[in-house]
């Protein structure tokens, strides 16, 4: 039996927040809450190299290194997807590149969101997560 990789505290807190909610409609409301927390992204950052491929929505992610920690920003033109972006921004920003690279996206199952999201949104979540990891690798 493999031991699950522990997830960072900020991400664990968000996962637990979603896990406590059983009603899919309430989970969507939580995503909207995270969407509203996403700061506006400047248009000059909305370029192909920051675009999440494989998403039906337009999604952009940027990353920079600040004192050894990765700071992400992101945006999406779809509210629920923007909520997923906000969830990941809050959960992954402030970690080291190595911490982000080692993370497995399995934590989405613990939130219960994988059951609430449409297959294309769930796939979008994984694509956003993968781009964030690629950006972290680029900062190492």
Q: Is residue 4 part of a domain?
A: no
Q: Is residue 68 part of a domain?
A: yes
Question: Does residue 72 have a pLDDT over 90?
Answer: yes
Say whether 48 sits in a helix, a strand or coil: helix
Among 11, 55, 108, 113, the one annotated catalytic:
55
CA nearest neighbour of 109 among 28, 18, 3, 6: 18
Q: φ and ψ at 11, to 5 degrees?
A: -70, -40
**Which CATH number goes with the domain that contains 84?**
3.90.1010.10
What is the average pLDDT score of the chain?
92
Q: Which of 56-60, 61-65, 85-89, 130-134 has the lowest mean pLDDT?
A: 56-60
Number of structural domains the chain divides into = 1
Question: Residue 31 CA to chain centroid, in angstroms?
Answer: 11
Q: Is residue 124 part of a domain?
A: yes
Q: Is residue 2 part of a domain?
A: no
Q: List, for residues 92-140, the tens digit of each pLDDT value.
A: 999 999 999 999 999 999 999 888 888 888 888 999 999 999 999 999 8
Q: Is residue 87 part of a domain?
A: yes
Q: Is residue 130 part of a domain?
A: yes
Q: What is the pLDDT of residue 6?
A: 76
Q: List, for residues 30-52, the tens digit of each pLDDT value.
A: 999 999 999 999 999 999 999 99
Structural domain harbouring 83: 9-139
Q: What is the pLDDT of residue 117?
A: 85
Q: Is residue 80 part of a domain?
A: yes
Query: Is 63 an annotated catalytic residue?
Result: no
């Amino acid at each position: 039996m493999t031991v699950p990789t522990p997830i960072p505290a900020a991400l664990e807190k968000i996962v637990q927040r979603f896990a406590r909610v059983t009603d899919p409609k309430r989970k969507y409301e939580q995503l909207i809450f995270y969407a509203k927390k996403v700061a506006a992204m400047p248009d000059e950052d909305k370029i192909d190299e920051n675009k999440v491929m494989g998403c039906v929505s337009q999604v952009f992610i940027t990353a920079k290194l600040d004192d050894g920690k990765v700071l992400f920003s992101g945006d999406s033109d779809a509210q629920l997807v923007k909520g997923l972006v906000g969830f990941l921004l809050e959960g992954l920003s402030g970690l080291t590149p190595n911490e982000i690279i080692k993370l497995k996206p399995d934590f989405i199952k613990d939130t219960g969101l994988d059951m609430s999201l449409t297959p294309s949104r769930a796939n979008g979540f994984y694509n956003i997560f993968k781009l964030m990891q690629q950006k972290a690798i680029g900062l190492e």
